[in-house]
Amino acid sequence: MEENDYDVLIVGTGPAGITAAIYGQRLGLRTVVFGDLPGGIIYMIENLANFPGFLEGISGTEFGVKLFQQAQMEGAMFTMVRLDRLEKDHVTFVATDANGHYYSAPCAVLASGRVPRTMPGPPPELKGINFCSVCDGPMFRDKNATLAVVGSNNAAAQHAVTLSRVAHKVLLICRGQNLKMDVTHKNLLAKHNNIETLIGTEVTGYEGLDMVEILCVKTGDGKPDKIPVEGVFLSIGWTPGTQMLKIEADKNHEGYLITDERLKTSVPGLFAAGDVREKSLYQVLTACSDGAIAAKAVSEYLARQ
């Protein structure tokens, strides 16, 4: 076997990808994992409170590092480099990383997750548009800042709560008439007096010289308004991370990969796990489950070849 020949190529170092590596190694597969950040974007979670077994929760960063260390102990190979291209040459998958190195395997698991969706409008040079409250929130500490969180889901609520500890005021701006978060997060918001929710309010643009200074909005009655802010945090949805996939595979209208219950895609030998595939619940727990199922399915697929 050549040095860069493996049983399975795993794209993504989030919970799905790393769990696939752990289970793959335990099933006797030679695995290589592409990605430069242990745990993927799970670092954006300040406190993972709903994962079984952690009574007080655990930070996303710590959880990701533990996963990474466990996979290393099992013998998984981590390139610590992002994947540039995933292609298929007849029956062999060929991966090219960002440094131009090639890897091959008869199977691949795409566990590349998804990235936060952006909004059109701000000039490229305008700073102050953020996506991670844990990472970028601390820069506003002791500045008496008013910060805006745009979104209505659980992630938006988590951002608002995190920012409430460093900001004078947090505005949670929801375009629809209802918050799309669970009761636990609604109750959590209610405990913070410096979080104000603005429903039926749509962001239409930004103003500022170097940093965002004004958030332009339109209220439910169609009236334009301008809200002074020192920073904006977006939580308006996600885009599946399939840009490196150079293989035609079935996707839904949003670009998520379609799989069967064994996580097989429409391409023989290609499996998808975690947030990159179409599913009903996007959670760390279900991503880990996907990783385990995908590894078992890969093992069974190879045994039939």
Task: Give the pLDDT mean for 217-246.
Answer: 92
Residue listed under structure tokens 């700073």: 127
Tell whether the model's pLDDT for residue 2 goes beyond 60: no
Task: Give the pLDDT mean for 58-69.
Answer: 96
**pLDDT band for position 173 (cuts 50, 70, 90):** very high
The pLDDT, as a whole number, for residue 209 is 86
H helix or E strand, kind and range, residue 173? strand 169-173
The pLDDT, as a whole number, for residue 118 is 82
Give me the domains of the chain, ranges plus CATH numbers.
8-116+238-304 (3.50.50.60), 129-234 (3.50.50.60)
The pLDDT, as a whole number, for residue 129 is 87
What the block records as the tokens of 149 is: 């969180």
Nearest Cα residue to 40 out of 107, 111, 100, 103: 111
CA distance 154 to 180: 7
The pLDDT, as a whole number, for residue 125 is 67
Q: Using one digit for the tens of pLDDT, what is the confidence trace for 103-150?
A: 999 999 999 999 988 876 666 667 888 999 988 999 999 999 999 999
Residue 218, SS3 per DSSP: strand
Give Cα separations from 239 to 106, 215, 275 (angstroms): 27, 24, 10
Number of H helices, E strands in the chain: 6, 18
Tell whether the model's pLDDT for residue 305 goes beyond 50: yes
pTM: 0.87
Question: What is the separation, in whole angstroms, between the first and last Cα of the chain?
Answer: 17
Mean pLDDT of the chain: 94
CA distance 105 to 108: 7
Residue listed under structure tokens 């301008």: 226
Q: What is the DSSP string of 116-169?
A: EPP-S-S-TT-B-EES-HHHHGGGGTTTT-EEEEE--SHHHHHHHHHHHTT-SE
Asked if 247 contacts 270 with a C-beta cutoff of 8 angstroms, the reply is yes
What the block records as the tokens of 206 is: 């930004």
What the block records as the tokens of 275 is: 């947030």
Would residue 46 be called left, alpha or beta, if left means φ above 0 and alpha means ψ between -120 and 50 degrees? Answer: alpha
Residue 251, SS3 per DSSP: strand
Give Cα separations from 81 to 95, 184, 287 (angstroms): 12, 37, 21
Task: Give the pLDDT mean for 175-185.
Answer: 92
Tell whether the model's pLDDT for residue 85 goes beyond 60: yes
Tell whether the model's pLDDT for residue 1 goes beyond 50: no
Q: Which residues are CB-contacts of 291 (< 8 A; sequence separation ≥ 6)?
A: 15, 16, 17, 18, 19, 20, 21, 22, 23, 109, 111, 273, 274
Task: Give the pLDDT mean for 23-32.
Answer: 98
CA distance 301 to 296: 9
Residues facing residue 217 across a β-bridge:
203, 225
Neighbours of 30 (CB within 10 A): 15
Tell whether the model's pLDDT for residue 252 goes beyond 50: yes
The pLDDT, as a whole number, for residue 223 is 83
The residue type of 196 is: E
